[in-house]
Amino acid sequence: MTILEARAIGWQVNGAAVVHDVSFEAATGEFIALVGRNGAGKSTVLDLIAGMRRPTAGTIWLDGRPLPTWTAHERARRIGHLPQVVRTELPFTAEQIVLMGRYPHADRWFASEADRRAATQAMEACDCLAFRDRRVSTLSGGERQRVLLAACLAQAPGLLLLDEPSTFLDVDQQLHCFSVLREQAASGRACIAVTHDLNLALSFCTRIIVLAGKTIACDMSASAARERHDWLPLFSSRLRIDTGSDGQTWVSYR
């Protein structure tokens, strides 16, 4: 089922285009990697879909309704957004941060038992339950990132937008993070994640969208991306697709 439609969206600053003519759809069950070089407009596209910015061209539809017709509360129930930068110096515990993800579902300011169960389950999924009572300001960068991801999962949205969700994570936690997101998509959500790790994208995502030249340069399944080489020069001339003796493919560099 299609949950998101971006129709020729663009965004300008002082008359200069940051992105233009970006069109794609996202359906439940999809885990989409949004990739591209620095400045390609990846974060901007996520912000536009999340309703944090209004497109200067084109339209965005969520569940068959134009995004501007959704109230902020309605959007918060349907869209979970993990931006690239989040303030974490506030004096809250990890569990309190995760419970903030339940605000769209809570009865005023009071967390219900269902809210607490959802928060606990999300923290277990993101491997951060052990420091639920610690202040976020005392956590490492990777630990904070897992807490913020747990807050998005506790929100229980239909559409997850994640800007570099594996930032600060060690290798094992990067694999765990993308495994969790793949499971979220398989459970009936749509996930769109910005990442610079092409091998994580090829291994865990179902689809790859490449931004270049301020618009979509390639939109392909992950399986097709593993067979093609023409999209790699959009990142660097040093990249290539290699295949091991076990048939596993990955992006290597010279």
Express each pLDDT in 70-118 by its tens digit.
999 999 999 999 998 877 677 899 999 999 999 998 776 677 899 999 9
Between CA 71 and CA 139 the distance in angstroms is: 34
Q: Is the dihedral of CA 101, 103, 106, 112 positive or negative?
A: positive
CB 142 within 8 A of CB 111: no
**Residue 12: how many CB atoms within 10 A of its CB?**
13
- 2-85+158-253: CATH number: 3.40.50.300
Tell me, what amino acid is at 233? P
Query: CB–CB of 222/207 below 8 Å?
Result: yes
CA dihedral 182, 186, 191, 194 (to 10 degrees): 20
Q: In the prediction, which pLDDT does 93 show?
A: 96
Q: What is the pLDDT of residue 62?
A: 98
Residues ≥6 apart with Cβ < 8 Å to 202: 208, 222, 225, 226, 249, 250, 251
Give the pLDDT of residue 124: 98
Domain boundaries, the chain: 2-85+158-253
List the one residue out of 116, 41, 172 whose CA is nearest residue 49.
Answer: 41
3-state helix/strand/coil string of 71-114 = CHHHHHHHEEEECCCCCCCCCCEHHHHHHHCCCCCCECCECCHH
Segments of the chain scoring below 50 in pLDDT: none
Nearest partner of 141 among 198, 89, 211, judged by Cα: 89
- What pLDDT score does 91 carry? 87
